[in-house]
Structure 1
Amino acid sequence: MAPRLNRLVSLCSGSFFLDEAGLLDGKRATTHWSVSERLSRRYPGITVAPDAIFIKEGAIWTSAGVTAAIDLALALVEEDLGRDLALAVARDLVVYLKRPGGQSQFSMHLASQMTNHPTIRGVQDWILQHLTDKLATPDLAKHASMSTRNFTRMFSAATGYSPAAFIEVARFELAQRLLGDAELPLKSIAASCGFTSDDQLRRMFQRRLGITPRAYRERFSTTGVGAAQPVPLTPGT
């Protein structure tokens, strides 16, 4: 039946069923992050992208967890009926953000909510609301009423990132989202994310994705299917 279908979609751990049927051999796929390693071990013929929200490989689509299914469904609407209607559906669903498929299953916003240390969590939230500020580590330490050395140590222990690395990833994620709007100039996006120039934004994308922001926009400003995967930062750097 599968060869006759125009489209085959799996949600969350449904990718296991597709591979049991031999439909994912030699293809890229994703699933919920908690079972991605198991999928990779059990089916070595798949290239598992453990951090993608959803992936399209030919007629086969796979997605991460439950909310990622909404993003995949919006991508299907966009592919069939256009971006404007997909955005209208997203508004009707009260979806905060229509995410491209290659965007990470995790985000700095989610990471801040998962931090157990209340003071560090408060600083994370403050950073996310002030990305256009300078955000020097000594100033963040003052915000936390700590010495710079103690703050840096506690921030890294609580989050797995140095303060500078957390800020960098947060700005990068915001830039990815803003690039989905084809009307925004790169200089405006760079300024809105706290980059000193659009050249700094370009260098960030080249280092983390190996492509320019303009190329990212051209390839992924709609559904984001098959989006490039970011080069992960080493925790604590």
Structure 2
Amino acid sequence: MTFTASGVTASYRRGQHVVTDVSLSVAPGEFALILGHNGAGKTTLLNALYGTRPLDAGSVRIDGELLASGTRSRIQRGIAFVPSEGAVIPGLTVHENLVVAATAVPGRRRRQWQPLIAEALGWFPDLEAKLDARARTLSGGQRRMLAIAMALTQSPSYLLMDEPSLGLAPQIVDDVFFKLAELRSTLGMATIVVEQTARPTLLAADQIHVIRGGEQAFQGDREAFDRHDLWELL
């Protein structure tokens, strides 16, 4: 089930295009990395892919099937989104955050989401000891792990993440991406990640896209990225 965005054009405000004519296609288990400076339009692109921003032009499809506007159609088709900020609810406990995420899937009953919470926690054992802790008491790395665990309770086939490295120490960033690689390998989950900085861990991506001034300045693999000396675009 391939996730395909074609000619996506989206605005931050009505009539002010921030992203113009961006296309990408991600197959199960693939890792697509979207790079660009702050203000390049990366977050607007990700919000458009997830449906929190309307498309001014273009389309988002899964296996050729056009997705309706809004987030509901994305959640129903197994797309989960982890924003850079506000992914967890600080005043709720770890367990309460997981329940909120698990119950966001339309039509899901309690007997369905309880095992999914347990499965998500299995990927992040450190969180099990903190189920009753408020999310605001967690470290930055633990909050990021909680945000990913929340997404996993929705049984996603596609995971969109906006700057997961934001505010984290380099070693924690590597830990996050090693965990994502393990999830892709085990679950066959496709991952689309937006970042500002190209770290060696990130450049293991199957495909790299560079957004500059809201336009797609490059798309290719690590070899092509290095060959074209595209570091100057970042």
Q: Which has the higher helix share?
A: 1
Q: Which has the higher strand share?
A: 2
Name the structure, 1 or 2, with higher relative contact order (CA <8 Å, separation 6+). 2
Larger Rg: 1
- Normalising by structure 2, what TM-score? 0.30
- Normalising by structure 1, what TM-score? 0.30
